[in-house]
Amino acid sequence: MTLDQQLDYLRKGMAEIIREEDLRERLTAAAKTGRPLRVKAGFDPTAPDLHLGHTVLLRKMKHFQDLGHTVIFVVGDMTAMIGDPSGRNVTRPPMTREAIQANAETYMAQVFKILDREKTEVRFNSQWLGELRFEGLIRLFSKYTVARILERDDFAKRYKEGVPISLHELMYPLAQAYDSVAVECDVEMGGTDQRFNLLVGREIQKDFGQPPQIVALTPLLEGLDGVNKMSKSLGNYIGITEPPEVMYRKVMQISDDLMFRYYELLTDRSIAEIQALRAQIHPMEAKMALARLIVSDYHTAADAARAGEVFNSVVRRKEVPADLETVPLPEGVSVANGIRVDKLLARIGLTGSVSDAVRKIKAGAVEINGERVKELVLADATPEMVIQVGKNWRKVVR
C-alpha cells in the first residue's frame, strides 16, 4: 500500500488519532529504515471472557500487523490489582492473583482468534511494575501532579460529589503510562474512555527520553440494546466464545441502524461497500450476512451456515425439531415455589453443570416455550416446557 492507503486502512473504524501527522511521519520512517512500529494495547484480565466490544480494538491491532508492524499485547496482571477506574463512580474491589492468572489464561486462548500469534508479543506488566520497588514508584509518581490527575473527568466528578477516590486509583494512569515506557511504544491503542490514560503515556515517555507515543482511540461499541456500551454486567453483549447459534441470534436482535455500525467496526468491509449495502440490500438480508461474517470469524463458515439454518427454522418459522426428545420432570425438582431453571437444565443434560447453566442463562442462550429465560427461578411453569439451549432441545412434561 502507499502511505495514503495505509492511513486510510488504519483510519477506518478509528475515533481519533493523536497526532495523525506523527503517525504519518513514523510510517514513513518505518518504510525507510525497515524498523516496524511497536503498537501496544493493554488488557486487564478482570473477567474471563472477551466480547465483540473488545474485538473493535483487537481488529485494529490486527490491521497494524497486516502492515508489518509489531503488536504488543500487554496483559495487565499488575494493574488489574488496582482496577481501571475509567468511567467508574465507585472503587473496584481488589482482585486476587489467582483470579487474575486464571482470566489471563483464557484471554490468551481468545485473542489469537484475531491476532496473528507469530507476530504478537505477549507481555505481562508485572515484569516491570513488580521490579520498580518503592524508590522507583516515588520517581515515577514525581513526574505527575495530583492537580493533573484530577483533571480526568471521572475523578473530577467523584471528587466534586464527595465520592471516595482511593489513592491506588490515582496510580493507575501512571502505571499504564509506564507500560509504554517499558515496551518502547510507538502507538498505544485504547477505547475512547482511555483517552486520558493514553495521553499521560505520551508525557511520561518524554520524561524518560522516549518520543511520545501516538494515541489511537477506537469507539466504544454499543451493545444489543443500542444505547449502552457492550458489557457483560449489562447483559447486552455477544461473547466471542458463545455457541454459533447464540451469536447468530444475538446479531439478528440489533437494530437496522446499529447493524451498519457493526459492519464498520467488526468487519473488513470498506465504507463504500457498507454504503452500498445500506442502499441496495434489504435490511434483513444485510443483517443475516453480518451474522454469518461474525460467526465465521470466531467459529467456521460451516458453523455460520448451520446457525443461519437454525435461526430460520426456529426463530423465523417458529419450528421445533421433529425429533425433539421428551423427558419427565426429574425427581427432586420442586415446582412448589417455582422451578430452579439452572438445576433443571443440568439434570436433563442440556448443560454440563449447574454453573454452566447459570452462565448460559446470563448469556441469553436459554429459551422456554419460545421466551428467553432471564431469571434463575421459573415461577409459572406449564405442564409441558419446550426448552432450547443453543442448538439443543428437550421437552419436559410433568
Residue 84 has what pLDDT? 74
Q: What is 169-234 written as a DSSP string? A: HHHHHHHHHHHHHHHT-SEEEEEGGGHHHHHHHHHHHHHTT-PPPEEEEEPPPB-TTSSSBP-TTT
Q: Select, from the ranges 107-116, 201-210, 237-246, the one with the highest average predicted confidence (pLDDT).
A: 201-210
- Total domain count, the chain: 3
How far is Cα 398 from Cα 328, in angstroms, rounded to an integer?
Answer: 6
For residue 76, CA distances in Å to 14, 172, 204, 235, 323 come to 23, 11, 18, 24, 48
CATH, residue 357 = 3.10.290.10
Range of the domain at 285: 244-316
> Would you place residue 259 in the very low, low, confident or very high pLDDT band (cuts 50, 70, 90)?
very high
Which DSSP letter does residue 148 get? H
> Would you place residue 211 in the very low, low, confident or very high pLDDT band (cuts 50, 70, 90)?
very high
> Would you place residue 72 in the very low, low, confident or very high pLDDT band (cuts 50, 70, 90)?
very high
Residue 124 in any domain: the answer is yes
Helix H, strand E, coil C: the string for 318-345 is CCCCCCCCEEECCCCCCCCCCEEHHHHH
How far is Cα 281 from Cα 304, in angstroms, rounded to an integer?
Answer: 20
Residue 397 has what pLDDT? 87
CATH, residue 138 = 3.40.50.620
How far is Cα 263 from Cα 182, in angstroms, rounded to an integer?
Answer: 35
Which pLDDT tens digit goes with each residue over 327-370? 988 887 777 778 899 999 999 999 989 998 998 898 888 988 87
Both 65 and 186 in one domain: the answer is: yes
* Count of Cβ atoms closer than 10 Å to residue 375 Cβ: 9
* Residue 201 predicted with pLDDT over 90: yes
Both 206 and 285 in one domain: the answer is: no
Average pLDDT, the chain: 89
Residue 99 has what pLDDT? 84
Residue with cell 490527575: 149
> Would you place residue 316 in the very low, low, confident or very high pLDDT band (cuts 50, 70, 90)?
low
Which pLDDT tens digit goes with each residue over 15-58? 999 999 999 999 999 999 999 999 999 988 877 778 999 999 99
Residue 336 neighbours by CB under 8 Å, 6+ apart: none
Percent of the chain with pLDDT over 70: 96
Answer whether 350's CB lies under 8 Å from 392's CB.
yes
The last residue of one of the domains, among 284, 316, 348, is 316
